[in-house]
Homo-oligomer: A and B are copies of this chain.
Amino acid sequence: MDYTSNSNRGSIMKGRVPESIILASEERRGAEFLERIWGKRPTFVCTIGNTETAKIPGISAAGANPAITDYTPAADVELLFYGKCKCIPGVPVTPDGIPTPGLITMSAIGLSKMPVFALNGGVRVRPIAPYFELDGSPGEDIRTGNAVKDPRKVFENAVVAGENLAAHTDYLVVGESIAGGTTTALAVLLAQGYDAENKVSSSLPVNPHPIKVQAAREGMSKSRFSAAEMRKDAFKAVAAVGDPMMPAAAGVIVGAARRVPVIMAGGTQMAAVLSLIRSQEPKALDNVALGTTRWILNDKSADLIHLVKQVGSVPVLGANLDFSKSRFDGLRIYETGIVKEGVGCGGSTIAAICHSEGRLDANLMLEEIDKAYERLMTHKH
């Protein structure tokens, strides 16, 4: 009855971290984490939610216009399951027509044959696909100071899902899709007392820090909780100015990390999730790494490493993706720092590379992503 016997499977990396993976912070622990997952079999989990915060003008590029950002998480999930979206034509794009990073995740999943599960923290538009229901609600605008209903319930349901999902897999990769998520992340980090101003990334070409900070400050001042309460109790911070993805992601990570390693696949949003995890089960931090993209690590308008270091000593890994040689403008433009991260694209790429024992590299990934782009973006459906 030994459920951990499969930890003997897989080969040894032998300390040679592949060039396609960047050790960005806590290098030694990051390399050890990679050793543990080298050649092993991952499971991908996409946590989703909506927040009205995404509709504040100038906040989010996760959708062609603010109204359609409600569809982005559902469409991303469908893309991962079916290789195409069902609830919208085409795929989610930015106002400039740049496609969702879900294209990258879809390619990583295809190459590594990871099973996929979706966790609904609280969406307005449900995926046309199976998903875990956690009894959450869509999030309100954080400027109300009352953004998330009962995050503890969603967290507790997600913990149970995470424990069961971790029973038969070697490790989990937990990504997110929620438009407006860096603003809610900023707000939760500020409410928890971290130095986060001007540190979160953006999917937009120019990071709208002033709009984000203003929304966060307004929400904190409107909250029924005092600054001291929100600083002390992460659930109060999330309830006031967070989003519904956060308790779903934190819960599934906590539940899974009791059994297996977990890649927290995302950018600065995952710093807020980390803050919630630390408040509930600090031991979980020993079994996680943050997996993101080179574009996030290179983002001069933000500082992921600084955010993560404040919360805990968690290794940060980066997928060394390079789209400069893509066949398509819509992908080459990622190199200018637009979009950067989402749908766990960095972490799932790291998982695909480790699963292949390094045979997959950034060039082969780009070939796959180019093919996906060609199929989904260059003719109408």
The minimal Cβ–Cβ distance linking A127 to chain B, given in whole angstroms, is 9
Bound state CA distance, A168 and B3, in angstroms?
12
Tell whether A133 is near chain B: CB-to-CB under 8 Å.
Answer: yes
A128 to B130, CA, bound (A): 18
Question: At the interface with chain B, which of A22-30, A60-68, A112-120, A226-234?
Answer: A112-120
Q: Which of A185-216 contact B (CB under 8 A)?
A: none
Residue pair A132, B135 in contact (C-beta under 8 Å): no
Q: Are B41's CB and A115's CB within 8 A?
A: no
Identify which of A88-96, A156-164, A315-323 touches chain B: A156-164
Please give, as numbers and ranges, the residues of chain B lying within 8 Å of A114 by CB-CB distance: 167
Of B113, B128, B157, the residue contacting A129 (CB under 8 A) is: B157
Q: How many copies does the complex hold?
A: 2
> Which residues in B have their C-beta under 8 angstroms from that of A112?
1
Interface string of A268-312 (1 = CB under 8 A from B): 000000000000000000000000000000000000000000000
Asked if A169 is at the interface (CB within 8 A of a chain B CB), the reply is yes
Q: Are A133 and B135 in contact (CB under 8 A)?
A: no
| Distance to closest chain B CB from A333 (angstroms) | 31
Is A43 in the interface zone, CB < 8 Å from B?
yes
Whether B3 pairs with A113 at a CB distance below 8 angstroms is yes
Q: Which of B164, B165, B355 contacts A1 (CB 8 A)?
A: B355
B residues within 8 A CB of A128?
135
Whole-angstrom CA separation of A114 from B135 in the bound complex:
24
Q: Does A131 contact B (CB under 8 A)?
A: yes
Q: A126-B135, A130-B132, A133-B131 are in contact. Are A3 and B167 (CB under 8 A)?
A: no
**Distance of A200 Cα from B158 Cα, bound (Å):** 38
* 12 more CB-based (< 8 A) A-B contacts, given A117-B164, A130-B161: A1-B113, A1-B355, A3-B41, A43-B168, A81-B160, A114-B167, A115-B164, A115-B168, A120-B133, A130-B133, A131-B132, A168-B169
